[in-house]
Amino acid sequence: MSVGDVWGVGKRLSKKLSIMGIDTALDLAKQSPKHMRKQFSVVLERTIEELNGNTCLSWDEVKQRKKEIYSTRSFGERVTTPAALKASLITHCSIVTKKLRQQQSGLPSFY
Protein backbone atom coordinates (compact mmCIF):
# COMPACT_ATOMS: atom_id res chain seq x y z
CA MET A 1 0.00 0.00 0.00
CA SER A 2 1.33 3.42 -0.90
CA VAL A 3 2.11 5.68 2.05
CA GLY A 4 -0.15 8.31 0.46
CA ASP A 5 -3.11 5.93 0.86
CA VAL A 6 -2.67 5.71 4.64
CA TRP A 7 -5.36 7.61 6.53
CA GLY A 8 -3.92 10.88 7.81
CA VAL A 9 -1.04 11.06 5.33
CA GLY A 10 -1.76 13.71 2.72
CA LYS A 11 -0.04 14.57 -0.55
CA ARG A 12 2.49 16.99 0.94
CA LEU A 13 3.47 14.61 3.74
CA SER A 14 3.73 11.64 1.38
CA LYS A 15 6.12 13.66 -0.82
CA LYS A 16 8.32 14.47 2.20
CA LEU A 17 8.25 10.84 3.29
CA SER A 18 9.12 9.69 -0.23
CA ILE A 19 12.23 11.89 -0.18
CA MET A 20 13.22 10.01 3.00
CA GLY A 21 12.74 6.67 1.22
CA ILE A 22 9.40 5.92 2.88
CA ASP A 23 7.12 4.94 0.01
CA THR A 24 4.84 2.27 1.48
CA ALA A 25 2.78 1.77 4.62
CA LEU A 26 5.23 -0.97 5.61
CA ASP A 27 8.14 1.47 5.28
CA LEU A 28 6.26 3.90 7.53
CA ALA A 29 5.42 1.19 10.07
CA LYS A 30 9.14 0.36 10.40
CA GLN A 31 10.01 3.93 11.44
CA SER A 32 10.59 5.01 15.03
CA PRO A 33 7.36 6.67 16.20
CA LYS A 34 9.22 9.04 18.54
CA HIS A 35 11.69 10.08 15.85
CA MET A 36 8.89 10.72 13.33
CA ARG A 37 7.00 12.75 15.94
CA LYS A 38 10.03 15.02 16.36
CA GLN A 39 10.28 15.51 12.61
CA PHE A 40 6.59 15.78 11.79
CA SER A 41 3.79 15.56 14.35
CA VAL A 42 2.06 13.55 17.05
CA VAL A 43 -0.51 12.54 14.42
CA LEU A 44 2.14 10.73 12.38
CA GLU A 45 3.49 9.12 15.55
CA ARG A 46 0.02 7.76 16.31
CA THR A 47 -0.41 6.60 12.73
CA ILE A 48 2.81 4.57 13.01
CA GLU A 49 1.66 3.12 16.34
CA GLU A 50 -1.68 2.15 14.77
CA LEU A 51 0.09 0.54 11.78
CA ASN A 52 1.97 -1.59 14.30
CA GLY A 53 -1.25 -2.70 16.01
CA ASN A 54 -1.13 -0.36 19.01
CA THR A 55 -4.46 1.42 19.57
CA CYS A 56 -3.96 5.13 20.23
CA LEU A 57 -7.47 6.56 20.07
CA SER A 58 -10.79 4.88 20.66
CA TRP A 59 -13.84 5.92 18.63
CA ASP A 60 -15.30 7.58 21.74
CA GLU A 61 -12.33 9.94 21.83
CA VAL A 62 -12.54 10.72 18.12
CA LYS A 63 -16.25 11.54 18.02
CA GLN A 64 -16.87 15.21 18.70
CA ARG A 65 -20.04 16.94 19.69
CA LYS A 66 -21.91 18.69 16.94
CA LYS A 67 -21.39 22.43 16.73
CA GLU A 68 -24.73 23.09 15.07
CA ILE A 69 -28.19 21.61 15.30
CA TYR A 70 -30.81 22.08 12.62
CA SER A 71 -34.54 21.72 12.41
CA THR A 72 -35.37 22.30 8.77
CA ARG A 73 -39.00 21.88 7.92
CA SER A 74 -41.02 23.80 5.39
CA PHE A 75 -44.39 25.26 6.15
CA GLY A 76 -47.26 23.16 4.80
CA GLU A 77 -49.07 26.32 3.80
CA ARG A 78 -48.42 30.05 3.67
CA VAL A 79 -48.02 31.60 7.14
CA THR A 80 -49.99 34.83 7.32
CA THR A 81 -50.53 35.44 11.03
CA PRO A 82 -48.14 36.07 13.90
CA ALA A 83 -49.84 33.29 15.89
CA ALA A 84 -49.16 30.70 13.16
CA LEU A 85 -45.54 31.82 12.93
CA LYS A 86 -45.13 31.64 16.70
CA ALA A 87 -46.61 28.12 16.79
CA SER A 88 -44.22 26.99 14.06
CA LEU A 89 -41.20 28.49 15.82
CA ILE A 90 -42.19 26.78 19.06
CA THR A 91 -42.39 23.45 17.22
CA HIS A 92 -38.92 23.93 15.69
CA CYS A 93 -37.45 24.99 19.04
CA SER A 94 -38.95 21.89 20.61
CA ILE A 95 -37.31 19.66 17.98
CA VAL A 96 -33.94 21.37 18.43
CA THR A 97 -34.00 21.13 22.23
CA LYS A 98 -34.88 17.44 21.97
CA LYS A 99 -31.84 16.88 19.71
CA LEU A 100 -29.72 18.92 22.11
CA ARG A 101 -30.75 16.74 25.06
CA GLN A 102 -30.18 13.53 23.08
CA GLN A 103 -26.57 14.40 22.34
CA GLN A 104 -26.11 15.87 25.83
CA SER A 105 -24.54 19.02 24.44
CA GLY A 106 -25.80 21.60 26.87
CA LEU A 107 -25.52 25.28 26.12
CA PRO A 108 -22.67 26.76 24.08
CA SER A 109 -19.86 28.30 26.12
CA PHE A 110 -20.79 31.88 25.21
CA TYR A 111 -24.12 31.70 27.09
Judge whether 100 and 111 are in contact, CB under 8 Å: no
Same domain, yes or no, for 47 and 74? Answer: no
Q: CA-CA distances (angstroms) from residue 17 to 4, 12, 47, 60, 63?
A: 9, 9, 13, 30, 29
Which of 58, 77, 101 represents a domain boundary (last residue)?
Answer: 58
* Half-sphere exposure in the Cβ direction for 104 (13 Å, CA): 1
Give the chain's length: 111
Please state, for a pLDDT cut of 70, what percent of the chain lies above it: 81
Model-level pTM? Answer: 0.52
- Tens-digit pLDDT profile for residues 4-26: 999 888 889 999 999 999 999 99
**Tally of structural domains, the chain:** 2
Write out pLDDT tens, residues 60-107: 655 666 677 776 767 777 888 999 889 888 888 888 888 888 877 655
Tally the C-alpha atoms within 13 A of residue 45's C-alpha that lie toward its C-beta: 11
Where in the sequence is the domain holding 13, given as residue range(s)?
Answer: 3-58
